[in-house]
Structure 1
Amino acid sequence: MTLVIGVDSSTQSTKVLLVDAQDGTVVASRSAAHPTGTEVDPRAWLQALDTAAADLLPRASAIAVAGQQHGMVALDAAGDPVRDALLWNDIRSASAATALIEEMGGPQACADAIGSVLVASFTATKLRWLRDHEPERAGRVASVLLPHDYVSRHLAAPGTDAFTDRGDASGTGYFATSRGRWRPDLAALALGHDVALPRV
């Protein structure tokens, strides 16, 4: 029997299913809660994953990860969080969304650049909020991941570069969906300096 794992790292919890790849039978199911709120220490997601998946991981031949979109996981040069992650449902960056849309040339220019018009849930708006309200922390940001990417990196082999997928990237506000590539200039516009972004 070939077993595979599906991980869902949502806003509320990490859920892990161990499944028979041949017929879809659920062999085991585990979950662990996440802290509540709209900003969360991303290391709590890793603790929840380790708790939920500990006895299941050695049994699986493959792993797939799904996770909440848009959240800002801002990391320093050592790969450690510079602050708690701002989640998709944190709307403190609404005015930052308005400012960035204007700086990009208005709603149509924004949509042309990234395939969407920014709202407070987008990662770019949270980076702008960080720049404007926590400049010392913003200055330490070397790379930006999404919650899904942060969890996936934890599961990957040591030394693996951070990675994401097009679906998650499309919710950042600095990914050109029509071209399928990052717009690092827009990430820099939001934060005020260049940052490393995960491989797509």
Structure 2
Amino acid sequence: MDVYLGLDIGTTNIKMILADGEGKVIESRSSPLGISAPGHGWAEQDPEDWWTGVTELLSSVPGKVRVAGIGLSGQMHTLVPVDREGRVLRKAILWCDQRTAAECAEAEALLGGESRVVEMTGNLIYPGFTLPKILWIRKHEPEIYRKIATCYIAKDYIGWRLTGERATEWSDASGSACWDVSARKWRSDLLSALGVDEGWLPPVKGSAEIRGILRPELARRFGWGETKVICGGADNAVSAFGLGVASPGDCMI
């Protein structure tokens, strides 16, 4: 029987559901995660812990089913910097980390103030967002900054581990502080003004688009064949959509 698998890279656990072709949930499981706080207001996780949780959950899928597709969601804004070989350069800086207040203020001033930032991206630059975390690493960890080749958000790092394809999608890009939500593209002039290499940011696809095919070695390990991996979305965005918030005027509390 073909089933569809959902993975959520959460803050306190990795969650997995299996659903049939009608969307009926067959099974759900989770794997717990810890958070470290090496400084006041800091929050970090080891992306290898995410991968361990993901592979344990995928290994638990009953052998009588075949996973035809995997959809991804996860914590927003979290930064995972990797080098050219795909090695993680430091622990991930989470969405709830508050260390970047100075970098936010400096970036806003360089870009011409709050209203100009909103005009460029549709958002303010908040301490939890992805871009100021990159700026913080440049200031405080220059030896790591020099090695960066790609900056992933949580679910997109796992998507890369599953498929080998660099990618993100609209909803997580929108929480980076360097994505133009109106034009749906990275804001090149903003990145240039701040001295951040646009090449570090993955190509952006639609949330429902296919990101890639499960790596052959993983397909053999789990016995699934050619499993498609869908780009998916940021946790708050897909939660809203799942509750029916899909049109102007809809809201949730």
Q: Which of 167, 173, 179 matches 1:169?
A: 173
Counterpart position of 2:48: 43
Counterpart position of 1:129: 136
Indicate how the Cα distance of structure 1 residues 145 and 185 shifts in structure 2: closer, same or farther if over 3 A, else same: farther
In structure 2, stretches of 5+ residues that fail to align are 37-42, 205-253
Larger radius of gyration: 2
Post-superposition Cα deviations, 1:141-184, rounded to whole Å, max 9, x if no partner, equal 1111110100111222xxx4211110000011111111000124
Counterpart position of 2:27: 28
Task: Return the TM-score normalized by structure 1.
Answer: 0.91
Task: Return the TM-score normalized by structure 2.
Answer: 0.73
In structure 1, stretches of 5+ residues that fail to align are none
2-11 vs 176-185, which deviates more?
A: 176-185
Counterpart position of 2:152: 145
Same amino acid, percent of matched pairs: 31
29-38 vs 92-101, which deviates more?
A: 29-38
5-14 vs 57-66, which deviates more?
A: 57-66
Counterpart position of 2:2: 2
Q: Is residue 77 of structure 2 the alignment partner of residue 70 of structure 1? A: yes
Q: How many residues align?
A: 196
Q: CA RMSD in A?
A: 1.8
Q: Which of 102, 113, 120 matches 2:109?
A: 102
Counterpart position of 1:19: 19
Counterpart position of 2:183: 179
* Amino acid in structure 1 at the alignment position of 2:84: A
The question of whether the paired residues in 2 share the 8 Å contact of 1:127 and 1:191 is answered with no
**Distance between the aligned counterparts of 1:62 and 1:11, measured in 2?**
23
Shift of 1:21: 1.8
